[in-house]
Each structure stands twice: as structure tokens, then as C-alpha cells.
Amino acid sequence: MAKSHLKLVAPTEVKRTVAPKCQPTRRPNTDLRSREHLTLTEVTALIEAAKGNRYGHRDATMILVAFRHGLRAAEVCDLRRDQVDFNGAVLHVRRVKNGIPSTHPFHGDELRALRRLQRESPSSPFVFVSERGSPFTTAGFARMVERAAAGAGLEIKAHPHMLRHACGYALANKGHDTRAIQGWLGHRWITSTAVYTALAPNRFRDFWRDAGRNELDFGQNFNGLAIV
């Protein structure tokens, strides 16, 4: 057999990886806002501002119900009429994200608002609908909350989940038990609830309350030292 003139040579091409296109990264929430919840005053201002919208009663009621019951945007947008029991004055809450369902009592102002909304809204299995009767979208709810915040003159950039956080902090500030708040918000793990009670301003309210009447009172020896 004839000798082959072919021979092995080292490759001259170098395989390179294609650099990924630079994707814009979302700025952290801490860069966008100083906190992730609204105060009661801000929620009230948000509701009042929403009343000035074209469908002001619907929008204001949506914000009120989302706040009172700590609903996520998906939960309030998917809220169905069969979850609202007018006779029993309760709301049957269904949670997303593997949350625990529960039954919440309604306040009188919520019942009145929901009854009026039912009379004025197009026929639909959903509570909050557009003028055509289609369910409200989470993106639409987010835009509505953002516009209401701007109309209310809030300095913070608001989004729907801040209403859920506002509910948790409001309940914690009222001194409710962490386990009870966990059940109200549908948290499967209590560590998700503890963040509200940990930052509640009244958490240490009664510390040293009786200092002036026991052995820890240093007021007689050190002027102004006793904390009462």
C-alpha cells in the first residue's frame, strides 16, 4: 500500500464562547423605596384618591378589601362572588403560593361597598371586573395603585403588595398575636409573619412601665435616670 502524504497538524482555530448579551438588571427594592409597606394614613389617602377615578367605587373597594384581608394582587383580582357571603358577613379567602385558606369576617363598610359594587357591575363570577365584565388583571391593578399613589401625593412608589404588608404591620401594631396574624395572612411558616411583629413600634411599650414602684427605680439616686 502506498504511503499517505497526509499528516496530523495542530488546529489553528480557537473556539470561543459567545458573550451573553447584557441584560438590564432590576434595581433592588431598597433603591426604589425606603420601605415595603404603607401606613394606615397612606392607605386611607390611597383609597380617597382612587375614588376620583372613572370607576372610583370599584377601585377604592378593591384597595380596601386587599388591605383589610392582606390579599395578594392575584388573590384580589381572582376574587369570585361565591367567596363573598353577604348573609354570614364573611369572606372565604383562597390563597396562592401554597398559602393556607381561611374565613375572614367582614366589616360593615366593606359589605356596603361590595353590595353597591355588585349592583353596579356587569354580570360576572368575579367581584372586580372591567366595564366589559372581564376579570381585573394584576397589571391593571398595579397601574391603578400607582396612579392613586401619585394622585394622593405619596412620596413613596406604591405597588399592590404593599397593601398586604400594610395589613400585617397594622395588625401587629394593634398588638395581635403572631399566630393569629399568621392565620389571617395565610402564611404557612410563622417566620414569614414574625417580620411584622419584630418591627411593631409598640413591641416594647410596657418595658420598664413599673420601674418607679420596684427595686429597679434609680430615680431617687440619679435624677432623670428612671425610665417610666
Active site residues: 72, 97, 161, 164, 187, 196
Q: How many helices (H) and strands (E) does the chain have?
A: 9, 3
Backbone dihedral angles phi then psi of residue 163, each to the nearest 5 degrees: -70, -40
Distance CA 4, CA 67 (A): 84
Closest CA to 117 of 61, 36, 73: 61
Cα dihedral value 49, 53, 55, 60, nearest 10? -10
CA-to-CA distance for 187 and 169, rounded, in angstroms? 14
Write the Ramachandran bin of 125: left for phi over 0, alpha for psi from -120 to 50, otherwise beta. Answer: alpha
